[in-house]
A and B are shown apart, each in its own frame.
Chain A
Amino acid sequence: MNGGKVSAPAAGESRQPASVSASAVAAGDAEGLRLRALETARDRLLAAGLVFVVAFLICAGRLVDLGAFGGGSADGPTAAVATGTVGRGDIVDRNGVLLATSLPTASLFADPKEVIDPRAAAAALAQVFPSLDRNWLHSMLTHDSRFVWLRRNLNPSEQNAVNRLGIPGLGFRTEYRRVYPQGRSSAHVLGRADIDEFGVAGIERSFDAVLANGETVRLSLDMRIQQTVRDELMAVVREHRAIGGAGVVLDVATGELLAMVSLPDFDPNAPVNPEDQARFNRVSQGVYEMGSVFKLLTLAMALDSGVTTLESGYDASRPLRIGHHTISDYHAKNRWLSVPEILIHSSNIGAALMAIDIGSARQRQYLQHFGMLNTSSIDLPVQEVGKPLVPNPWRDVNTMTVGFGHGIAVTPLQMVAATASVVNGGVYRPASLLCADDSVLAPGVRVVSPRTSKQMRAMLRLVVRFGTGMKADVPGYNVGGKTGTAEKLIKGQYRRDQRVASFIGAFPMEAPRYVVFAMVDEPKGTRKTFNYATGGWVSAPLVGRIIARIAPVLGIAPAEEIREAKTSPAKNAPSHKEQMMQAIREAIASSKGRQLAAN
């Protein structure tokens, strides 16, 4: 183009001779026209060229911008890297032991339009899967659609067998299947996810949104503790031919549940039978009249409100009659009993009189604070948490029976959380199934004074040293606790032969770390227990065995006293009763002073 411009003056030069020669004018005019047309063409080319130059410059500028400065929307398509876990999130225990996970499996589907011979295909598939009905298979293979599931979650050998059949129109899809590698041990807590991986029970349900997002849920459970509790509980349930049992271990400082066992249990990996009674969670769902274990709450209320002291006593010499109710003692002493003795011998009369002193309104207020009157706020679906049964209206006679744990039915979970607040210095924290390491600990609610808590620790220790809970003692671990035997109310009748035997204990009693609860539903006496099927004979030794096994695992060293306990008693040792009286005096004296009652 520029070349054209340069040559233009040369064309002008050649124009000048044209004006000189007239004959050449006509030719010169034609020549001029031609030249003008050329000029116009050059100008147009120039204009078009400029437009292109500008366009190319814009492109070049943009390229430099993208390449050198990363401008504009250059960060659009980036490499899609597979992140996160595969499938639904895991559930692990507090130590990271895998409790629930999703594993890839092949699921068999069919495109009925592509199946050539449905009858032969159905026959062949029925051979591979004996549980599938041939007619059903045939109806699926002739279904009027392009996609039908034939069988979900095949194992590799089944998949191989189907592949070998070589039937056209069949295909596999990778699906995830929920697997519980630890089996039955925490089946009630974990619950269940259905075939499409929707949580339908337990933690699987209550944390469905989190798990569906692929996140891991870390529970407070410790599988070592859980298995130990289950193992010991199962042995006792079998030995006493009981219909079921419950076992709980709770950290008193945080409210974390280290073990939550309900028997009978079920295999979470097996196909579901919704009618199965074993799915019932006795710890969170079942409500029971707790019986004598409730007395520890009554005594805590009485001491905390100041209506009684450890030096007072009540007349338990004869049964109480209120209207047509009679309150009598199981371990009847038929005499005046001091307050510690009421707990040690588990006197119904004494507890009832104490409850009257506390008064109905105050009793209800305390029970409210102990979390006994409301459904507990555990991290399980509401359907799996039992609502306590409380007297309505709350008459004086109810106040008395509630004093020794009758006429009120609560879940073991509520009982454990309340007991933890009594022994941990007086602060209530709801029981939780989530590991507290991951979250900030919610502030507890003070329910009784530290002094009351200290007195209660001394009293509960006395129950195990001298009272109904003697079989729960573990040398070196200063176990304290309370037994309970409640007759079950069946069709309005209390049944002597159908009882709930329980024991709630804590250890080590000088500074409790864990509350351990065991309940056996309808135990039968054996020769070994002299046909007794009470809390003291069935559940107390069970809790003792559990503590002896879990304390070393939990890293709690036995007290030095253990060596002394092994020595045989001296010849002229004081009698059991004298020892007890001495211990009571020491407990009272130490609870007044600053020193803590160690045993």
Chain B
Amino acid sequence: MSAWSNLMRQAAVLCGLLTVALAVVLMAIKYQVQAYEEELAHLNDRIVQEKQTIQILKAEFSYRTEPDRLRGLATQYLGLVPIEPARLATFAGLDDPRFDQHADPVVGTAPVKQRSLAMGARR
């Protein structure tokens, strides 16, 4: 009988302790969630910012690589010109005996010429 009541008392104490412990844990979790929410909002802000930056950089890249602009720069600094169809060659075409026959006198010897043809735009 007294053992039973003793048990009950212990259970009540345990329950009380549990309640306090749960309350503490709950509060801790609540604060943690709040912190996470703040972090999330911050991260979302940063994502938007990064996206805007990417957008700006993409626009700038497009602006700077505009073909007209590149052509102007290439002509001004590199002396490049558009490829003429006659300057295109395939590897199959390199074995063609006619190839050397009509070699362009602008470029020196035949091997050099062949390499430059395969590469395209070199002058």
The chain B residue sitting closest to A81, CB to CB, is B44
A234 to chain B, nearest CB (A): 10
Which B66-123 residues have a C-beta within 8 angstroms of A?
66-68, 71, 82-86, 88, 90, 93, 96, 98-99, 102
CA distance A104 to B98 in the complex (A): 60
Instruction: Decide if B8 touches A549 in the complex (CB within 8 Å).
Output: no
Q: Given the interface contacts A101-B59, A104-B52, A228-B67, does A3 sit within 8 Å of B85 by beta carbon?
A: no
Residues of chain B within 8 A of A182, CB atoms compared: 62-63, 66
Residues of chain A within 8 A of B47, CB atoms compared: 81-82
> How many A residues have CB within 8 A of the partner chain?
44
CA distance A549 to B67 in the complex (A): 13
CA distance A446 to B82 in the complex (A): 38
Residues of chain A within 8 A of B65, CB atoms compared: 97
Among B51, B62, B88, B93, which residue has its beta carbon within 8 angstroms of that of A85? B51
Instruction: Decide if A566 touches B102 in the complex (CB within 8 Å).
Output: yes
Instruction: Let me know if B58 is at the binding interface, CB within 8 A.
Output: yes
Q: Given the interface contacts A81-B44, A104-B52, does A558 sit within 8 Å of B8 by beta carbon?
A: no
Instruction: Decide if B48 touches A181 in the complex (CB within 8 Å).
Output: no
A439 to chain B, nearest CB (A): 24
Which A193-232 residues have a C-beta within 8 angstroms of B?
223-224, 227-228, 230-231
Q: Is the interface of B mostly helix, strand, loop or mixed?
A: helix
CA distance A90 to B55 in the complex (A): 9
Interface segment among A260-268, A471-479, A492-500, A578-586: the answer is A471-479
Residues of chain B within 8 A of A224, CB atoms compared: 67
Instruction: Let me know if A38 is at the binding interface, CB within 8 A.
Output: no
Residues of chain A within 8 A of B40, CB atoms compared: 79-81
Q: Given the interface contacts A86-B51, A101-B58, A101-B59, does A185 sit within 8 Å of B88 by beta carbon?
A: no
CA distance A474 to B58 in the complex (A): 37
Instruction: Decide if A6 touches B1 in the complex (CB within 8 Å).
Output: yes
Among B55, B56, B102, which residue has its beta carbon within 8 angstroms of that of A563? B102
Residues of chain B within 8 A of A316, CB atoms compared: none
Instruction: Decide if A558 touches B86 in the complex (CB within 8 Å).
Output: yes
Instruction: Decide if A185 touches B68 in the complex (CB within 8 Å).
Output: yes
B89 to chain A, nearest CB (A): 9
Among A181, A227, A566, which residue has its beta carbon within 8 angstroms of that of B62? A181
Instruction: Decide if A181 touches B66 in the complex (CB within 8 Å).
Output: yes
Instruction: Decide if B44 touches A80 in the complex (CB within 8 Å).
Output: yes
CA distance A475 to B62 in the complex (A): 34
Instruction: Let me know if A99 is at the binding interface, CB within 8 A.
Output: yes
Instruction: Let me know if A179 is at the binding interface, CB within 8 A.
Output: yes
Instruction: Let me know if A438 is at the binding interface, CB within 8 A.
Output: no
> 1/0 contact trace for A1-43 toward B, CB 8 Å?
0110010000000000000000000000000000000000000
Which B1-59 residues have a C-beta within 8 angstroms of A?
1, 4-5, 8, 40, 44, 47-48, 51-52, 55-56, 58-59
A12 to chain B, nearest CB (A): 16
The chain B residue sitting closest to A85, CB to CB, is B51
Q: Given the interface contacts A6-B1, A86-B51, A476-B85, does A181 sit within 8 Å of B63 by beta carbon?
A: yes
Instruction: Decide if B86 touches A566 in the complex (CB within 8 Å).
Output: yes
Instruction: Let me know if A575 is at the binding interface, CB within 8 A.
Output: no
Instruction: Let me know if A557 is at the binding interface, CB within 8 A.
Output: yes
B20 to chain A, nearest CB (A): 15
CA distance A182 to B4 in the complex (A): 88
The chain A residue sitting closest to B67, CB to CB, is A227
Instruction: Let me know if A74 is at the binding interface, CB within 8 A.
Output: no
Residues of chain A within 8 A of B85, CB atoms compared: 474-477, 548, 551-552, 558, 562
Identify 14 new A-B residue pairs, CB closer than 8 A, beyond the known A104-B52, A549-B82.
Answer: A2-B5, A6-B1, A6-B5, A81-B47, A82-B48, A86-B48, A86-B55, A101-B59, A103-B52, A182-B66, A223-B67, A227-B67, A548-B85, A552-B88
Binding site for B on A (CB under 8 A): 2-3, 6, 79-82, 85-87, 90, 97-99, 101-104, 179, 181-183, 185, 223-224, 227-228, 230-231, 474-477, 548-549, 551-552, 557-558, 560, 562-563, 566-567
Binding site for A on B (CB under 8 A): 1, 4-5, 8, 40, 44, 47-48, 51-52, 55-56, 58-63, 65-68, 71, 82-86, 88, 90, 93, 96, 98-99, 102
**Can you report 13 residue pairs joining A to B where beta carbons are below 8 Å apart?**
A6-B5, A80-B40, A80-B44, A97-B62, A98-B59, A101-B62, A102-B55, A181-B62, A548-B84, A552-B88, A557-B88, A558-B88, A562-B86
Among all A-B residue pairs, the 10 with the closest Cβ atoms? A181-B62, A98-B62, A181-B63, A227-B67, A558-B85, A82-B44, A476-B85, A86-B51, A181-B59, A82-B47
